[in-house]
């Protein structure tokens, strides 16, 4: 008999509801899996065993009385440690929040609990969720389940690693610059970055605890081992905030098509501006071939009317503005004063050009931001036109599969080796930024292993608010190519 940890969230909920297995048994199986697997990957950083077990017993008792809490009734799950959880410490991987125990749940956490989910632990992330790898001074590195010398990605790295090793059936992550998509791709699981503002962000750290405003670009979203589980979670999570719900509701459009072959598919699988690793590119091309064999019309030359470079210039400036909001006043002031010298130094190759670009975006005036926001509006209009002819576009999540840990030094100065070529670490933000800049939904689907023995993945990007088309395509793609593969124990 299969272990509960081998099953999807959807299957577990069905089994709990039909009383084939109890919520207590499902929770205990996952706690046992944490005991067996967590030391090797360092994904789960905080457990709430006693309260979770008490809640699981309540879930079973409720079912015995014919009471049903909601679509996630009795399902145990973990939460990325950037989301506030009532009575359970939320550190954001930062020393200043080491003892922070929230009195209330973040908005998405509250929705999951209201639907019947049972939170039994928190998963690792980089400090302040501010890296595309997972390492912090409180809990250390999270390792890739396929190769402990490599990164699990970030910032939802603990979430993806916990899913891959079957320590949890469902996760709640967050994504500003690929933080759901990157670790999902590197660990070989599914993840969904929703359309901007489909899920309230209240209770996310950063900003500081108690922040009421919502940051540009940032979204909440699920990670899982199946696309069906992503859809299940999104049905619970998506909707207006409590304040906005007084006047409007949200009903995301149904998937555009019922059959895989009816989807009009564009493939943007490589680009001279950010070349893709050979092993990954070969896997993506093989996926496109499989889709064509399945009867799907695939256009490998279709592109929106702007260049990748143009999109990334706009995106990086907007991203820098968000990232700089948390800088201490003295650091921010120093960065502004240093900008003229940084521009000159970058021109002569004395510092990375990206450092000057970051300083420019971080210290931009309101007028400059408004101009970039207008430029983004034009990107979004171009995507609107593009998606009249295509339903989704397939692209890499990153220019490379999982790489060896490289967490020392500033992200603007780090280097990567991709196929023997030294590349800027910031190249990792280019492909995620195509969807991020324009607020588009993007689902990550695993494609199996590349020739390098590491998980490969595709990013399925769709029109704004057409999240269900992205997730539906991911589910259908998994029937003909790829899907979750468990890493060796």
Top CATH class of 1-294+390-489 equals alpha beta
Q: Which of 82, 156, 174, 179 is catalytic?
A: 179
Is residue 391 within 8 A of residue 441, CB to CB? The reply is: no
The two counts, helices (H) then strands (E), for the chain are 14, 15
pLDDT over 80 (residue 328): no
Closest CA to 443 of 402, 405, 391, 388: 391
Tokens encoding 387: 């998606």
Active site residue 3: no
pLDDT of the residue at 303:
98
| Mean pLDDT, rounded, for 44-67 | 98
Active site residue 57: no
Q: What is the mean pLDDT of the chain?
A: 96
pLDDT over 70 (residue 1): no
Q: Which residue has the tokens 């410490």?
A: 89
Alpha-carbon gap, residue 396 to 247, rounded angstroms: 38
Q: What distance, in Å, lies between the first and last C-alpha atoms of the chain?
A: 19
pLDDT of the residue at 351:
80
Q: Which residue has the tokens 């390492």?
A: 135
Q: Which of 8, 22, 155, 311 is catalytic?
A: 155
Q: Which of 80, 113, 193, 283 is catalytic?
A: 80
Number of residues in the chain? 489
Pairing outcome for strands 219-224 and 455-461: unpaired
Per-position DSSP letters for 431-482, written without gaps between them? HHHHHHHTT--EEEEEEEE-TTSSEEEEEEE-STT-HHHHHHHHHHHHHHS-
Q: Which residues of the chain are in CATH 3.90.1300.10 domains?
A: 1-294+390-489
Active site residue 305: no
| Mean pLDDT, rounded, for 429-435 | 98
Closest CA to 448 of 419, 487, 397, 418: 487
Alpha helices, DSSP H only, in 42-167? 49-64, 107-114, 157-164
pTM, entire model: 0.97
Alpha-carbon gap, residue 143 to 132, rounded angstroms: 13
Is residue 63 within 8 A of residue 18, CB to CB? The reply is: no
pLDDT of the residue at 330:
80
Alpha-carbon gap, residue 426 to 272, rounded angstroms: 15
Residues 6+ apart with CB under 8 A from 61: none
pLDDT over 90 (residue 327): no
């Amino acid at each position: 008999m299969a272990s509960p940890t081998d099953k999807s969230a959807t299957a577990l909920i069905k089994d709990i509801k039909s009383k084939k297995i109890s919520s207590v048994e499902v929770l205990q199986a996952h706690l046992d899996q944490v005991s067996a697997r967590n030391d090797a990957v360092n994904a789960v950083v905080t457990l709430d065993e006693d309260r979770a077990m008490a809640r699981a017993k309540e879930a079973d008792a409720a079912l015995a009385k014919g009471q049903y809490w909601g679509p996630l009734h009795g399902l145990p799950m973990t939460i990325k440690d950037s989301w506030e959880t009532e009575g359970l410490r939320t550190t954001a991987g930062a020393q200043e929040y080491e003892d922070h125990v929230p009195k209330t749940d973040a908005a998405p956490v509250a929705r999951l609990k209201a639907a019947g989910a049972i939170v039994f632990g928190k998963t690792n992330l980089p400090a302040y969720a501010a890296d595309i790898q997972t390492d912090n001074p409180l809990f250390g590195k999270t390792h890739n389940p396929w190769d402990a010398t490599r990164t699990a990605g970030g910032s939802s790295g603990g979430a993806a690693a916990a899913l891959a090793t079957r320590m949890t059936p469902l996760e709640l992550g967050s994504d500003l610059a690929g933080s759901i998509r990157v670790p999902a791709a590197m660990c070989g699981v599914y993840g969904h970055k929703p359309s901007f503002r489909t899920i309230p962000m209240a209770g996310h750290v950063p900003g500081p605890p108690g922040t009421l405003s919502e940051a540009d670009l940032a979204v909440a979203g699920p990670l899982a081992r199946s696309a069906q589980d992503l859809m299940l979670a999104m049905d619970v999570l998506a909707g207006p905030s409590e304040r906005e719900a007084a006047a409007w509701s949200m009903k995301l459009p149904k998937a555009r098509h019922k059959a895989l072959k009816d989807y009009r598919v564009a493939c943007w699988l490589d680009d001279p501006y950010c070349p893709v690793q050979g092993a990954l590119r070969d896997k993506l091309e093989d996926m496109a071939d499989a889709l064509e064999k399945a009867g799907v019309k695939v256009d490998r030359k279709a592109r929106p009317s702007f260049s990748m470079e143009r999109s990334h210039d706009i995106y990086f400036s907007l991203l820098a503005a968000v990232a700089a909001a948390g800088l201490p006043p003295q650091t921010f002031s120093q960065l502004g004063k240093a900008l003229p010298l940084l521009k000159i130094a970058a021109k002569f190759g004395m510092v990375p050009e990206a450092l000057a670009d970051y300083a420019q975006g971080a210290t931009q005036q309101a007028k400059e931001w408004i101009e970039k926001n207008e430029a983004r509006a034009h990107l979004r209009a171009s995507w609107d036109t593009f998606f009249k002819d295509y339903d989704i576009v397939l692209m890499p999540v990153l220019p490379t599969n999982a790489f060896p840990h490289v967490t020392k030094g500033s992200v603007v100065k780090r280097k990567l080796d991709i196929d023997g070529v030294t590349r800027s670490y910031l190249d990792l933000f280019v492909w995620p930024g195509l969807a991020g800049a324009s607020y588009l939904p993007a689902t990550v689907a695993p494609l199996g292993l590349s020739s390098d023995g590491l998980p490969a993945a595709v990013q399925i990007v769709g029109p704004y608010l057409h999240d269900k088309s992205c997730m539906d395509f991911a589910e259908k793609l998994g029937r003909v190519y790829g899907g979750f593969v468990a890493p060796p124990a």
